Structure 1
Amino acid sequence: MFTFSNRLFYPVQVERQDPKFGQIMFEHYGGKDSEFSAVTQYQNHRANMPNPYVSKLLGMIAAEEMSHMEMISVAIKRLGGPPLSYVNSQGTPWNINYVDQSLDPIAMLQADAEAEIRARILYNQHFTMTQDPGLKQMISFLGSREDVHKHLFQRAQGLIVQGAGAEQFRQLILDYKASLQI
């Protein structure tokens, strides 16, 4: 179940408009390695994940990715970027081929960890493209969350391979929740 909160997951502060950088930020909104791609992939993997704990983890991370998407949309608007649509920075429409369709739990989690790595690389690139201190803080925050997700996906993958028990999987959920204490 998802709930809506009328506050952002992390503050979005933009010092001055920069429509060109707003256009660049579309990579995080509707590009191949965007938050939208992550939400869509993790929800699909959640629906196909036989392990109930990992399924729950995927759902929680997908919900967080939705909040990241909302932050990106606010940043684009405050930068004076173009109207929001599911396109990348070049205007190419989002494509379902951006979403991994694996059904094997190990393959799904591998694809999810790889998606987080690619998103982190993209955030690192865009961090260097702005001098706006508020945007730098937001981008740094989002990049650090990608690292947390990657680590959790890799741990979940290892637990499945090991045939770990319920308690170890429950700890994964608790560790995710603890990571949200910001």
Structure 2
Amino acid sequence: MFMHNKRLQYTVRVSEPNPRLACLMLEQFGGADGELAAAMRYFTQGLTEEDPGRKDMLLDIATEELSHLEVIGSIIAMLNKGARAELSEAARSEAELFREIGASGISAKEAILFGGGAALIDSAGAPWSANYIDSRGEPTVDLRSNIAAEARAKIVYERLINITDDPGIKEALGFLMTREVAHQKSFEKALYAIADNFPPGKLPGVEQYASLYVNTSQGEGDLTGPWNSGAQWDRIDDLTETMPIDGGTGIPTVTLSPDQVEVAEQMALRLASVPEDRLTGAEIGAGPGAGRTSTGDKGGAADIAEASSTARAMSF
């Protein structure tokens, strides 16, 4: 059950309307790393969580994210206040309004469909999507994803802070950014409160591959560090000597029934390549810049004529 308190969690003070900035702020309203996505991610996780401590934490943070949605939505509404009134009341001429939509950064969807109001779209006008929610129903997976989501949101807030000189907006965004930091800390504590939290899930990794580092990108720029060298790792550099890694042939196989073998052989015979060089449509139409063809390397009209003549001869 929810009860709404009309006071914001953080007071919004906007110096002056700025529709262009409002459009950018939509990224944290209806965007992939925005507050609605965070609230829905944590609510859906919390509703199915069996552990009482994690359930309480997830529902607490999910509810707070809704309050953050209200803060960022209020910023957008204040930044759009003048433009919204002009669009709704036709306070300016048609040409002026049309020019204002482009000059102010308001998208056509934001202006025409939503009348300059805060809408669940991102800064490019794309509608919010449940595809942003990447929960898997496994706490050790979801908590790591939540930590990453909060980190991404913090970076977006940093960039929004950097593009405004409005002190009130900077303060409000700084508050929202800092709450992302606090949530990361809570999620990490919850993750490490699970004794066996790595690797994720129930099944153990295959021991012979769990400490293997395969140096597949070789050449200038090869570096070593604790991520690929030392006692923790069995490192493979000579790929030609060690692959396939399971000691097999590396050739995929499948067991078929006799009927399936017969059908597969028929299909292979029907689709088999022939070694002779056959004239193609690309060669018949080849012009300058087409490169060498099977009819020679003259290129241009002479090559086309010769190819056409050859094609006619082959058709009889």
TM-score interval, normalised by the smaller of the two chains: 0.7 to 0.9
Map Cα deviations across residues 17-72 of structure 1 (whole Å, 9 max, x no partner). Answer: 11000010000100000000001000011012221111110001111100000011
Equivalent residue, structure 2, for 1:3: 3
Aligned runs of 1:1-182 on 2, under 5 Å? 1-80=1-80, 82-161=116-195
| Higher RCO (C-alpha under 8 Å, 6+ residues apart) | 1
| Percent sequence identity over aligned pairs | 34
The TM-score normalised by the length of structure 1 is 0.86
What stretches of structure 1 move > 3 A for 4+ residues in a row? none
Shift of residue 162 of structure 1?
5.7
Query: Secondary structure of 1:7's match?
Result: coil
Say how many residue pairs are matched. Answer: 163
Task: State the distance in 2 between where 1:142 and 1:84 align.
Answer: 18
The answer to which structure has the higher helix fraction is 1
Q: Call closer, same or farther: CA 1:3–1:161 in 2, change over 3 Å.
A: farther
Shift of residue 2 of structure 1?
2.7
Does the 8 Å CA contact 1:37/1:99 hold for their aligned counterparts? yes
Task: State the distance in 2 between where 1:152 and 1:134 align.
Answer: 28
Task: State the distance in 1 between where 2:189 and 2:25 align.
Answer: 30
Does the 8 Å CA contact 1:50/1:105 hold for their aligned counterparts? no
The TM-score normalised by the length of structure 2 is 0.50
**Structure 1 residues without counterparts, runs of 5 or longer:** 164-182
- Range moving further from structure 2, 41-50 or 116-125: 41-50
Query: Secondary structure of 2:194's match?
Result: helix
**Structure 2 residues without counterparts, runs of 5 or longer:** 82-115, 198-316
Higher gyration radius (CA) = 2
What's the Cα RMSD here? Answer: 1.3
